[in-house]
């Protein structure tokens, strides 16, 4: 190998190492920039799942309460239970907003 070829390879190696270093820095910067977005997305997904789960629990409770109201024989008891159910709904709306 001639001295000129060796010098050219050394110079090409310097440029390749510089490009590799820049690529590593850019990759690290992108990773650091995206990490908070991924965490925010995970938190938002967990909050949405919690809200959906709590709504499903309330719907199931309401279904049992409505069945209980329908099965109640006394008109006074039925009226009282409907009023209690409406109070529960109002409390749920206030809590979930």
Nearest to 58 by CA among 12, 95, 8, 15: 95
Does residue 97 have a pLDDT over 70? no
Residue found under tokens 């650091």: 32
Which H helix or E strand runs over 5?
helix 3-71
Q: What is the pLDDT of residue 82?
A: 92
**Coil, helix or strand for 34?**
helix
Q: What is the pLDDT of residue 83?
A: 93
Reported as a pLDDT band with limits 50, 70 and 90, residue 22 is confident
Q: What is the pLDDT of residue 15?
A: 83
């Amino acid at each position: 190998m001639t001295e000129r070829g060796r010098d050219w390879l050394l110079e090409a190696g310097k440029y390749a190492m510089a490009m590799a270093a820049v690529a590593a820095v850019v990759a690290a910067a992108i990773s650091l920039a995206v990490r908070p977005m991924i965490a925010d997305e995970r938190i938002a997904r967990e909050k949405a799942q919690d809200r959906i789960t709590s709504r499903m629990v309330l719907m199931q409770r309401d279904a049992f309460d409505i069945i209980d109201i329908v099965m109640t024989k006394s008109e006074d008891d039925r009226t009282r239970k409907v009023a209690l159910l409406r109070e529960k709904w109002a409390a749920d709306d206030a809590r979930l907003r």
